[in-house]
Amino acid sequence: MKQKIMFLGDSITAGQYVDPTKRFSFLLEKSELSNAHALIFEAISGQTTRQALLTFPEKLYMHRPHMLIIQLGINDCNIWKSEGGVHPRVSLDAFRENLGEIIERSRIAGVTCLKLLTNHVLKKQVEVTNGFIDLQSQNEEYNEVIREVGRNMGVDIYDIATFWAQLDSNFDLALLLLDDGVHLSTLGHTIYGRFLLDRMLADLKR
């Protein structure tokens, strides 16, 4: 029986706005990973860590994955003008606690290999009550919390944020994103998928 690898994520993992055959999930499913592993993608567009906690335990016990990769945070850090434009959807402290609980519940469910993903560099200005903010500044703060939780709870980080920022300076990072400055383009999915594939293969061979 194949071991199961489960992804818990938001619209980035879901591949919103991109042809299903161009998403990083499809790339992984067609890679050598599938020889010995079944890949499961539990991703909901717009999902925060708070929302994930309501539903993901059921998914864990349904699938019983050996490996869990957690990609959340962009929606947590987002600020909506309709909500007053002064507070993220999920505060940093709540985000920290939510990630910790997701990890704890995963271990209780028998997950033996956990990975936390930081989130890629964003190129979006968000309208708030008194003007605009750079969503990337929020994203960076939440990525730091992801790294902190990983260190404190002994969970490895797949740091795509650092990888993304260090891509060749001659490479136009905007090409990796759709016009909204958040979601991955087809090229973005290709690079994202290759990043994950290299690291997952290395970890699974240990």
Residue 68, pLDDT score: 98
The model's pLDDT over 66-88, given as tens digits with 9 standing for 90+, comes to 999 999 999 999 998 777 778 89
Percent above pLDDT 70 for the chain? 99
- The angle that helices 135-153 and 92-108 make with each other, rounded to 10 degrees, is 40
Distance CA 82, CA 85 (A): 7
Map tokens 């879901």 to a residue: 14
Q: Position 63: which residue type?
A: H
Confidence of residue 48 (pLDDT cuts 50, 70, 90): very high
Residue 114 is which amino acid? L
85-135 pLDDT per residue, tens:
788 999 999 999 999 999 999 999 999 999 999 999 999 998 877 788 899
How many residues does the structure list for the chain? Answer: 206
Q: Which of 13, 23, 4 is nearest to 204 (CA)?
A: 4
Write the CATH number for 138.
3.40.50.1110
**Residues contacting 13, CB < 8 A, separation 6+:** 7, 25, 41, 43, 71
Q: What is the mean pLDDT of residues 184-192?
A: 97
Domain that holds residue 70: 3-204
pLDDT at 52: 98
Name residue, tokens 């404190």.
152
Domain total for the chain?
1
Max distance between CA atoms of the chain, in angstroms, equals: 56
Q: Is 78 helix (H, G, I), strand (E, B) or coil?
A: coil
110: left (phi over 0), alpha (psi -120 to 50) or beta: left
pLDDT at 157: 98
**Gap between the Cα atoms of 92 and 17, Å rounded:** 28
Residue 78 has φ and ψ, to the nearest 5°, of -65, 145
